[in-house]
Amino acid sequence: MKARLTASRERIVAAAIGILAEHGYAGCSVAAVAERAGLATGTVYRHFPAKADLFAEVFRAASQREVDAVARAAARESTAAERIRAVVETFSGRALQSPRLAYALLVEPVDPAVETQRLVFRRAHAALLAGYIAGGVASGELPPQDPELASTAVVGALAEALVGPLAAGVAGPDTIGGLTTFIHRALGVSP
């Protein structure tokens, strides 16, 4: 049955995301993914030509979910400053909620083929932000600046501040507030 096939494929992707969120990429052997999906190892290869292709899709799917959540939150706001705040808070809140997944999506070592997808993830967030920044610059709400560079730097700052601590220290109580101030200032939001 056609539906059965699609269901299997989706179970595989879901299983991979689950393991990613619990044990990180390191725990994602094909055997582990298959077992969690309730399938045999070989079956994975009926749906994906190689592990890299599976994880390209896994990263794509998980990333899309994150970017969508951020975009949805930002869409509710009307000024550039508010949209940027929404981006920072949503991104940070979700990262702190699922730190293992955030770590996997943002910085955990993966093989080079998958690395490409990660780039896409970071760039998708940056592109979203770049749009808001460009809008703010155009309306005069923000000072002139290169929205590409600024948005890239913001994504880097968020990733480092939120995920770096996973291995080293810990996120403090006002991490999100501090980051919001930092980024508002960096982009020239007037106080």
Partner DNA sequence: GCAAGAATTGAACCATCATTCATTTCTTAT
Partner DNA sequence: ATAAGAAATGAATGATGGTTCAATTCTTGC
Task: Return residues touching a second copy (CB under 8 A).
Answer: 26, 107, 109-112, 115-116, 119, 122-123, 145-146, 148-150, 152-161, 164-165, 167-169, 172, 174-175, 178-179, 181-183, 185-188
Task: Confirm if 159 and 107 have CB atoms less than 8 A apart.
Answer: yes
Q: How far apart are CA 75 and CA 117, in angstroms?
A: 25
Q: Which does 5 bind (CB under 5 to 8 A by kind): a second copy, DNA, none?
A: DNA
76 near DNA, rule: CB under 7 A: no
CB of 31 to DNA, least distance (A): 6
Packed helices 99-106 and 112-138: angle between N→C axes, nearest 10 degrees:
100
Calculate the alpha carbon distances from 117 to 7, 53, 75, 106, 177 in Å. 23, 10, 25, 10, 30
CB of 20 to DNA, least distance (A): 13
Contact characters 5-44, DNA, x per CB under 7 A? x--x-------------------xxxx------xxxxxx-
Q: Which residues bind DNA (CB under 7 A)?
A: 1, 4-5, 8, 28-31, 38-43, 45-46, 50-52
